[in-house]
Structure 1
């Protein structure tokens, strides 16, 4: 194992409030249903298609909507925090000789600003997909760039689409229980490992 690849939102970063703020700002503009903090748990138990139906959002508009959403999201980037235990995990991974990277469907500019703001200089590789279902292609690109075998990396993510992408790319995946998808949704996709505390990630890798 050489590289630990992390998802960003819901895995490394607790961006729930930034997401809700950006969504509600744009939902007012485009007449979609607004979300309250208490809607978060309900949404965790829904698939992406069910979520889009819940907020009256047509999925075919996603490619046009995402760039504007991520731009508004960036307004809250300094308020987004690392999940408790993540900074210590990244430090321990570095001490153990592992390299860390991020592959996300967020914008690279947002992620790099977050890393800079939080003093995280041990993640130098950030790759982003403009499509929320395109992570498998980015993972394959990462493997090719670094001349890595599939068994030399493991992906850490919080959503079903992370699990599906990893299976397509042929790499192992650790699902984390503190992110956007609830356990009953994620477990249906059979992740290789499931963890509920950041320190358990290092236990799995070792």
Structure 2
């Protein structure tokens, strides 16, 4: 495997609070219901359309609302951090020969700002999808551009829509449990790997010789 493509929000970046605040900021304007942190937890096993119906969110207005959400994100970037252990995990993967790529629906400027803020310099490329459900198109272009075979790429993310995108182009998928979607929702799409910590990503991808040479034990994943 040569490339590891990471989702950004919910996988690398702990941005749920900022996105919740952004959501609530525009709730009255677009006539949908505001949410609390417990609502996000309670709806982890609902898909996007089910959540939209529950909170009366107008999906047809998504192209109007989403840029406003990302603009709010940019203005509150200092409130966003990567999850604990993410930077160290990226460093280890990069040191062991993996090329790190990010693919997100978030704005490229926002992602690059956070990487700089967190002093992460292991990401070789940031890809963005202008459509919430258009990642499969971006992935296909990336694979063709670099003349890759799916077996040489792994996508790491937290949402079922990302698994569906990977399944369309035949990419293996690793689901992380600390993000937006719950296991009951994503397991129907059969992710190749399931991990519960950033260390679990390392434990899954690196051979036992890495841990032996570094005097480390593999953590539970």
TM range, smaller chain: over 0.9
Q: Look up the match of 2:209.
A: none
Determine helix, strand or coil for the equivalent of 1:132: coil
Q: Look up the match of 1:156.
A: 156
Q: Look up the match of 2:10.
A: 10
Map residues 105-124 of structure 1 onto 2, 5 A cutoff.
105-124=105-124
Q: Which runs of 5+ in 1 are unaligned?
A: none
CA radius of gyration, larger in: 2
Is contact 1:21–1:73 with CA below 8 Å preserved after alignment? no
> How far 1:121 moved relative to its partner?
1.1
Distance 2:109 2:155 in 1: 21
Map residues 119-198 of structure 1 onto 2, 5 A cutoff.
119-198=119-198
> How far 1:203 moved relative to its partner?
2.4
Distance 2:112 2:118 in 1: 10
> How far 1:11 moved relative to its partner?
0.3
Is contact 1:163–1:189 with CA below 8 Å preserved after alignment? yes
> How far 1:128 moved relative to its partner?
0.5
Could you state the TM-score of these two structures normalised by the residue count of structure 2? 0.90
Distance 1:73 1:28 in 2: 18
Map residues 1-150 of structure 1 onto 2, 5 A cutoff.
1-150=1-150
Determine helix, strand or coil for the equivalent of 1:38: helix
Paired residues, what number? 206
Could you state the TM-score of these two structures normalised by the residue count of structure 1? 0.96
Distance 1:194 1:76 in 2: 31
Is contact 2:3–2:154 with CA below 8 Å preserved after alignment? yes
Is contact 2:11–2:156 with CA below 8 Å preserved after alignment? yes
Is contact 1:163–1:173 with CA below 8 Å preserved after alignment? yes
Distance 2:74 2:116 in 1: 14
Determine helix, strand or coil for the equivalent of 2:76: helix
Q: Which runs of 5+ in 2 are unaligned?
A: 207-221
Runs of 4+ in structure 1 over 6 Å off: none
